[in-house]
């Protein structure tokens, strides 16, 4: 960062220091890109808010050296139990749901306040500053950069000169608003509640997720860090005035009545009512400005996808900004952020909307789906390997792929297809494939009897190369002597035997 008169010059201005903005900052730091991150708040949130860190987010944290810190701070949910009228309808073991599919075969319960602190502490430990109490005003774009006007904590006007601007400033994004990007979608015509409580019950286990199905929706109990600490989420039935103010004392008796389970609430740490929105911006970029996280898309809470999607937005955008800013790729590369992540958000909205309809619908059809189809599906997860291997990638976000991206050459071998995140597996010596993939550059892997990856000449392109003699048959069958080209975010650009395809891809997107 360079100061010139009343201006500060940097490469990227990040607006918003929530999970998405902080994730983008730590990734840009990893790539050696200068940035300024601002937020109008006075610090990281103190509220629990988003509670689930999915496996793909933990894989990203692993590359930063933060996964074990997150796990030690959070709580692993070991099982899901579904009840109706006091009787168990399904019991699912979650401990090994993703065994063999990720080094983190589970979902981690970790309060958003602690996720933000984890990322913020990482920045501060590496000498980076988060500019709290700093609010964005107007900004202007030119062909060469962006000028951002903001107001600092002491009330002074500050001008920031940057190559790019990224709005990670939430659902009410000022960046999106000033860019004139529409934010189309819908709002659920029901009122929901959330409560973080300490409770006592002879039947509720502290590591188990409980879902109580009722005629007009559901009540969920998510385990949180600490003894007998749970988040309760549910629907307020028959609310005529959506602006009516409710207290937990209004809801507690209703919860007890609905779940038909002996329970006592001992301490309340947070309570709120809210409306559920499902929206997506018409585009995730405009010229030199980008939006990410809730600024670009907001989801129903089904499946714990929202915060994790923002973390993946940041992961996707950071390497592309880095390559362009270091003049190692054409600026056209940045357009793939919009196409890849916008398509992912659209697909995710459709999935979470369907899941949420099943969980929250109040008519006879949705009651039937919730009481019969949903509970049966949960039973299949525990009894069918085929179902498990499809459900876990969907929920954990390890199954996100970019098959139609311009960074993808249509190709496949065995179970792997171009566009996929590189599949997880362990070699016979106990070493994980991911241990070779932490370096944030393109990687060329060769599976076969030769040192073909090392032998290939790619000029000045930064490329790590690995040759593997061992070829897991469960993924590749009897195939051998083939290449896998991985992007810096470890999605497959090409898989096959024609190394010329890799060179053509580099030429097409200007990687040098």
Cα separation of 416 and 419, whole Å? Answer: 9
Q: Which long-range contacts (CB under 8 A, 24 or more apart) does 141-147 make?
A: 141/165, 141/287, 141/288, 141/289, 145/288, 146/13, 146/288, 146/289
End-to-end, the C-alpha distance of the chain in Å comes to 26
Beta bridge partners of 209: 80
Cα separation of 9 and 472, whole Å? Answer: 49
- Each of the 512 residues of the chain gets a pLDDT tens digit; together they read 555 447 899 999 999 999 999 999 999 999 999 999 999 999 999 988 999 999 999 999 999 999 999 999 999 988 889 888 888 888 888 887 899 999 999 999 999 999 999 999 999 999 999 999 999 999 999 999 999 999 998 888 999 999 999 999 999 999 999 999 999 998 888 888 999 999 999 888 778 999 888 877 789 999 998 888 999 998 887 766 667 789 999 999 989 988 888 999 999 999 998 888 889 999 999 999 999 999 999 988 776 788 999 999 999 999 999 999 999 999 999 999 999 999 999 988 887 777 776 666 666 776 677 666 777 777 777 678 887 888 899 889 999 999 999 999 999 999 999 999 999 999 999 999 999 999 999 999 999 988 888 888 888 898 999 999 999 999 999 999 999 999 999 999 999 999 999 999 999 888 88
Other CB atoms within a 10 A radius of the CB of residue 207 amount to: 13
Cβ neighbors of 225 (< 8 A, separation 6 or more) are 73, 74, 75, 109, 110, 111, 114
**How does DSSP assign 140-158, residue by residue?**
EE-SS-EEEEEE-TTS-EE
Cβ neighbors of 320 (< 8 A, separation 6 or more) are 329, 333, 334, 336, 337
Domain 412-509, second-level architecture: 3-Layer(aba) Sandwich (3.40)
**How does DSSP assign 418-439, residue by residue?**
TTBBPPP-B-TTS-BGGGG--S
Cα separation of 370 and 218, whole Å? Answer: 9
Domain 2-74+110-186+278-351, second-level architecture: 3-Layer(bba) Sandwich (3.50)
pLDDT of residue 361: 64
pLDDT of residue 381: 72
pLDDT of residue 4: 47
- Fold of the domain built from segment(s) 191-275: D-Amino Acid Oxidase; Chain A, domain 2 (3.30.9)
Helices (H), 40-88: 55-64, 67-73
Helix axes 55-64, 306-325, angle to 10 degrees: 40
CA 381, 67, 211, 233 torsion: positive or negative?
A: negative
Cα separation of 423 and 495, whole Å? Answer: 12
| Domain ranges, ordered by start, for the chain | 2-74+110-186+278-351, 191-275, 412-509
pLDDT of residue 238: 73
């Amino acid at each position: 960062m360079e100061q010139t008169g009343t201006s500060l010059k940097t490469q990227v201005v990040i607006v918003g220091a929530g999970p998405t903005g902080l994730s983008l900052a730590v990734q840009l730091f990893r790539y050696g890109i200068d940035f300024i991150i601002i937020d109008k708040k006075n610090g990281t949130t103190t509220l629990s808010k988003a509670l689930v860190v999915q496996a793909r987010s933990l894989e990203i944290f692993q590359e930063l050296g933060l996964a074990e810190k997150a796990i030690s701070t959070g709580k692993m949910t070991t099982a899901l139990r579904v009840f109706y009228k006091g009787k168990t309808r399904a019991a699912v073991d979650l401990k090994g749901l993703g065994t063999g599919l990720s080094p983190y075969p589970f979902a981690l319960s970790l309060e958003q306040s602690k996720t933000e602190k984890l990322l913020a502490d990482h920045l501060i430990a590496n000498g980076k500053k988060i500019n709290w109490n700093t609010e964005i005003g107007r900004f202007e774009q030119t062909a060469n950069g962006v000028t951002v006007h903001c107001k600092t904590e002491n009330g002074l006007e500050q001008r920031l000169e940057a190559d790019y601007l990224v709005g990670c400033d939430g659902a009410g994004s000022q960046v999106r608003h000033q860019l004139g990007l529409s934010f189309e979608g819908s709002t659920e015509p029901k009122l929901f509640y959330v409560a973080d409580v300490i409770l006592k019950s002879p039947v509720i286990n502290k590591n188990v997720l409980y879902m109580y199905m009722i005629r007009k929706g559901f009540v969920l109990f998510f385990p949180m860090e600490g003894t007998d600490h749970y988040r309760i989420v549910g629907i307020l039935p028959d609310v005529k005035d959506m602006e009516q103010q409710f207290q937990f004392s209004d809801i507690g008796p209703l919860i007890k009545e609905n779940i038909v389970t002996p329970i006592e609430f001992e301490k309340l740490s947070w309570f709120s009512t809210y409306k559920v929105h499902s929206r997506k911006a018409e585009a995730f970029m405009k010229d030199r400005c980008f939006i990410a996280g809730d600024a670009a898309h907001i989801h129903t809470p089904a499946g714990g996808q929202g915060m994790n999607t923002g973390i993946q937005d940041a992961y996707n955008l950071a390497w592309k900004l880095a390559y362009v800013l270091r003049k190692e790729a054409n600026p056209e590369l940045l357009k793939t952020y919009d196409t890849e992540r916008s398509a992912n958000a659209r697909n995710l909205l459709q999935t979470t909307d369907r899941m949420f309809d099943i969980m929250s619908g109040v008519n006879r059809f949705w009651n039937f789906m919730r009481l019969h189809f949903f509970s049966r599906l949960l039973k299949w997860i525990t009894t069918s390997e085929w179902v498990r291997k499809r459900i876990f990638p969907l929920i954990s976000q390890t199954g996100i792929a970019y098959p139609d991206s311009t960074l993808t050459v249509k190709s496949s071998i065995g179970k792997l297809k171009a566009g996929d995140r590189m599949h997880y597996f362990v070699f016979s010596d106990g070493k994980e494939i991911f241990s070779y993939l932490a370096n944030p550059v393109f990687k060329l892997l060769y599976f076969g009897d030769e040192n073909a990856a090392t032998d290939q000449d790619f000029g000045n392109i930064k490329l790590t190369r690995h040759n593997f003699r061992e070829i897991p048959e469960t993924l590749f069958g009897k195939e051998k002597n083939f290449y896998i080209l991985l992007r810096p975010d470890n999605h497959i650009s090409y898989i096959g035997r024609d190394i010329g395809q890799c060179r053509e891809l580099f030429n097409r997107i200007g990687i040098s």
